[in-house]
């Protein structure tokens, strides 16, 4: 008999059907046994009664335990009104079992599958195949499949071609460490797993492909974070020939709006999405991924305090830095411990401390007012628009450091003060990123983002401007304080590429050695092109209000980048190493 799903049983009252699944729970009342049977669609109650159930099947039911896999054939019956279970979709019916077959017995699981009990994450990851049976995770995986299908349908509807690109590629400076794969056939040489299909998608543009996309696996040897999977992730990689950044934005805004409204309970905060220059985002919000659901902004008070008696402020301005302030509304009742916590957050970003003025009901309280004086204190309060019940926090340092420190404080205040509306998705574009930054580690200029981006002003800017002032046609899509995508208008001109890499310390020979195929391809006529690559895992996480990306991935690694289920990474045999011409030189601890 054809299998009927748990949620379909309500449509078969009076009929004999067969259901299959796992025993979610079992209740033995002597001559009456109740089994809640679970499949991927839901739960249905099975009643095992010796008056209806075959003798052998009844005997089996007495031995069964949770998580056994069984097949039940029986008749669907309506429950009496007082016995209806509103917790289940099938709670209005039950199945009177006629025959039961055990498809697989099961050991007692290391944690309960039924219910919502908190389970140690390491245990969950070790037995992930059991964790996957839990309804919440199954719900995410089903929803994620629909999420990706919607992306595919949308992209096809916009004229994009789905094209897969190689996994074994070459090493390139994408900003993170590569995963290297030794070559057996070419001793001493290595493939690299792609950090992104960047070069391939640009070559597709050279090849005349009008619009490309793929659900691309990407690999970066980065440390784990709550919002970043270690090692691997998936992105909606896309590229458009003859496109401007605004055309990319227009398509992505429509897709992200659809995903928000269809796959979450959130509303898009603003359309068109706000567009904020990188420099303005840092100066206003202290972050290149600002959470726009709340209004707290950083305000420059340097001119007011440059000659003040508070040496921390006056010295910062004298040394070429700034003093910036942020008003925390209604925070005057913060405890000393809460202020200390915010101070530690600022210090973690390199700040020396976090000055503050509390505008309490019974007067102004602050250790710095005695240095500022009453008149200047009042000017500051008026300048930043603070009122009784607020706290003003200050950062005094070089502009970049002060912005970053107060940006972290701002983000924390948004959560502590309840300003982050969970019903909103505040998408925004951050653009005009710096082309270069200074690497203290390598003591040289380095690419800030994607090295294949077109500089604003083209080769003339590269020739004539201070490299640290050059911006690029690079843009990030951010939402609710998370970076969700990076993209750019690409550098498709060989001489401009040579110059861009030259400023980052690469000779023409080195560029040709690493990217000769790109230079050669562009020399045959490359169209202007642009694209981006939204991170599927992170966007799905944010839409579902999860704070840890491991909650929405089928087989994640733990916080140490380990797969506890498969025991990876693992030691390999000497023969395997010899096959790929590798000899280990590891200092044993």
Q: Which residues, in sequence order, are bridge partners of residue 328? A: 391
pLDDT band with cut points at 50, 70 and 90 for residue 586: confident
Distance CA 538, CA 425 (A): 13
pLDDT band with cut points at 50, 70 and 90 for residue 488: very high
Identify the pLDDT of residue 175: 64
Task: Tokens 């690079």: give the residue.
Answer: 474
Most confident by average pLDDT, 111-125, 206-220, 503-517: 206-220
Cα R_g (the chain), whole angstroms? 30
Tell me: the pLDDT tens digits for 181-193?
999 999 999 999 9
Is pTM beyond 0.85? Reply is yes
Angle at 103 between CA 98 and CA 108, to 5 degrees: 110
Which of 122-126, 437-441, 489-493, 499-503 bottoms out in mean pLDDT, i.e. has the lowest? 437-441
pLDDT band with cut points at 50, 70 and 90 for residue 389: very high
pLDDT band with cut points at 50, 70 and 90 for residue 515: confident
CA torsion 162-166-171-175 (nearest 10°) is: 30
Under 8 Å between Cβ of 230 and 551: no
- Going along 490-541, which residue ranges are E strands? 529-532
Q: What is the DSSP letter of 512?
A: H
pLDDT over threshold 60, residue 174: no
Tell me: the pLDDT tens digits for 274-310?
999 999 999 999 999 999 999 999 999 999 999 999 9
Identify the pLDDT of residue 27: 95
Taking residues 135-158, report their average pLDDT.
97
Tell me: the pLDDT tens digits for 230-284?
889 999 999 999 999 999 999 999 999 999 999 999 999 999 999 999 999 999 9
Distance CA 12, CA 74 (A): 11
Under 8 Å between Cβ of 283 and 289: no
- Going along 275-400, which residue ranges are E strands? 275-277, 299-300, 322-328, 355-360, 363-365, 391-397
pLDDT over threshold 90, residue 173: no
The distance of Cα 251 from the centroid of its chain, to the nearest Å, equals: 21
- Domains, the chain, ranges and CATH? 6-104 (2.40.50.140), 294-419 (3.30.1360.30)
Distance CA 77, CA 61 (A): 20
Distance CA 72, CA 95 (A): 9
Going from the C-alpha of 556 to that of each of 195, 233, 553, the distances in angstroms are: 18, 10, 6
Identify the pLDDT of residue 482: 96
Q: Which residues, in sequence order, are bridge partners of residue 299? A: 325
Is residue 347 classed as helix, strand or coil in its secondary structure? helix
- Going along 274-370, which residue ranges are E strands? 275-277, 299-300, 322-328, 355-360, 363-365
Taking residues 475-482, report their average pLDDT.
97
pLDDT above 70: percentage of residues in the chain = 99
């Amino acid at each position: 008999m054809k299998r009927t799903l748990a949620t379909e049983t309500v449509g078969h009252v009076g009929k004999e059907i067969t259901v299959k699944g796992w025993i979610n729970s079992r209740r033995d009342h002597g001559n009456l046994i109740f089994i809640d049977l679970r499949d991927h669609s839901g739960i249905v109650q099975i009643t095992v009664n010796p008056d209806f159930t075959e003798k052998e099947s009844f005997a089996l039911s007495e031995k069964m335990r949770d998580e056994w896999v069984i097949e039940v054939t029986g008749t669907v019956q309506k429950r009496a009104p007082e016995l209806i279970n509103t917790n289940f979709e099938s709670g209005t019916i039950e199945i009177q079992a006629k025959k039961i077959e055990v498809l697989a017995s099961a050991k007692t699981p290391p944690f309960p599958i039924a219910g919502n009990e908190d389970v140690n994450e390491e245990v969950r990851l070790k037995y992930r195949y059991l964790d996957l049976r839990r309804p919440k995770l199954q719900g995410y995986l089903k929803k994620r499949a629909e999420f990706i299908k919607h992306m595919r349908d949308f992209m096809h509807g916009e004229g994009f071609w789905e094209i897969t690109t190689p996994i074994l590629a070459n090493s390139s400076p994408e900003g993170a460490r590569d995963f290297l794969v030794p070559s057996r056939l070419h001793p001493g040489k290595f493939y690299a797993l792609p950090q992104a299909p960047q070069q391939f998608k640009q070559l597709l543009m050279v090849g005349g492909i009008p619009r490309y996309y793929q659900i691309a696996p990407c690999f970066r040897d980065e440390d784990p974070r709550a919002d970043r999977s270690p090692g691997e992730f998936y992105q909606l990689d896309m590229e458009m020939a003859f496109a401007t950044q605004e055309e990319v934005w227009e398509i992505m805004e429509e897709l992200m709006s659809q995903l928000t409204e269809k796959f979450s309970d959130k509303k898009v905060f603003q359309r068109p999405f706000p567009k904020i220059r990188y420099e303005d985002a840092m100066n206003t919000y202290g972050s290149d991924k600002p959470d726009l659901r709340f209004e707290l902004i950083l305000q420059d008070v340097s001119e007011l305090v440059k000659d003040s008696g508070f040496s921390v402020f006056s010295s910062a301005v004298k040394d070429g830095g700034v003093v910036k302030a942020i008003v925390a509304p209604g925070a005057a009742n913060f405890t000393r411990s809460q202020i200390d916590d915010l101070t530690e957050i600022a210090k973690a970003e390199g700040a020396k401390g976090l000055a503050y003025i509390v505008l309490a009901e019974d007067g102004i309280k602050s250790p710095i007012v005695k240095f500022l004086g009453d008149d200047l204190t009042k000017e500051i309060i008026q300048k930043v628009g603070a009122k009784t019940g607020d706290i003003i926090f200050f950062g005094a340092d070089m502009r970049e450091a002060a912005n970053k420190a107060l940006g972290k404080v701002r983000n924390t205040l948004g959560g502590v003060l309840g300003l982050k509306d969970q019903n909103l998705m505040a998408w925004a574009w951050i653009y005009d990123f710096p082309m270069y930054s200074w690497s203290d580690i390598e003591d040289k200029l380095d690419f800030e983002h994607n090295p294949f981006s077109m500089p604003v002003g083209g080769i003339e800017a590269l020739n004539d401007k201070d490299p640290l002032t050059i911006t690029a046609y690079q843009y990030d899509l951010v939402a609710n304080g998370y970076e969700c995508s990076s993209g750019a208008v690409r550098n498709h001109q060989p001489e401009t590429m040579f110059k861009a890499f030259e400023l980052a310390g690469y000779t023409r020979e080195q560029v040709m050695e690493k990217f000769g195929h790109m230079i050669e391809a562009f020399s045959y006529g490359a169209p202007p092109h642009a694209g981006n690559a939204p991170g599927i895992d992170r966007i799905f996480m944010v839409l579902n209000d999860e704070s840890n990306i491991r909650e929405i991935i089928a087989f994640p690694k733990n916080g140490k980048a380990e797969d506890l289920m498969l025991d990876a990474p693992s030691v390999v045999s000497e023969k395997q190493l010899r096959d790929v011409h590798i000899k280990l030189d590891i200092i044993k601890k």
